[in-house]
Amino acid sequence: MGEQKTVMALIVGGEANAGPPLGPALGPLGVNVMAVVKKINEATSSYKGMRVPVKITVDTETKSFEVEVGTPTTSALLVKEAGIEKGASNPKANFVGNLTREQVVSIAKVKMGDSYASKLKSAVKEVLGSCVSMGIKVGNKDPREVLKEVDSGGWDDILSKG
């Protein structure tokens, strides 16, 4: 087994190509760039339109490679769930979307693997923090109010199902 080289990139799901950032990073390693692109696109097809972190490990001797796909950013998941193009330019004054409690919990579950949160409640609070910074309401309420509800046990019923 030869030397292992790792290339990290942020790719739009299902839309990887041989151009930057992949081509210039993988070309010098002698790996078949189009084969890597094809594998990345297959692995990220469920994240269409979202930015997804990808890690490509190449064996420089055998030219074999492995592709590891991370989860999209919390903001990308929020944008998709809320059906919006982007967060509010002034999230303190404007709200651009609204999510249900179930959608927030669902995103928190997806992000649990990448999060420092050890409990679903903590992961939900992280997602709600992103809602605050993006101007996305939860249950037609300001996410700051919802954070207080979570802290005071108002979400314990839905979190216990998770």
Greater model confidence, 149 or 3: 149
What is the spatial distance between Cα 158 and Cα 42, in angstroms, rounded to a whole number? 34
Greater model confidence, 47 or 136: 136
Q: CA 125 → CA 16, 73, 157, distances in Å?
A: 32, 15, 15
- Chain mean pLDDT for the chain: 92
CB 48 within 8 A of CB 13: yes
pTM score of the predicted model: 0.76
pLDDT of residue 122: 94
67-97 tens-digit pLDDT: 999 988 899 899 989 999 889 999 888 999 9
pLDDT of residue 1: 60
CB 75 within 8 A of CB 107: no
With residues binned 3-state (H G I as helix, E B as strand, rest as coil), the percentages for the chain, rounded to 5, are: 45, 20, 35
Indicate if the pLDDT at residue 162 is higher than 70: no
Question: What does CATH list as the number for 74-161?
Answer: 1.10.10.250
CA atoms within 13 A on the CB side of 33: 15
Do 4-69 and 74-161 share a fold? no
Q: Can you name the CATH fold of 4-69? A: Ribosomal protein L11, N-terminal domain (3.30.1550)
Structure tokens at 18: 């041989």
Categorize the per-residue pLDDT at 50 as very low, low, confident or very high, splitting at 50, 70 and 90: confident
What is the spatial distance between Cα 4 and Cα 52, in angstroms, rounded to a whole number? 22
CB 113 within 8 A of CB 71: yes
Domain ranges of the chain: 4-69, 74-161
pLDDT of residue 117: 86
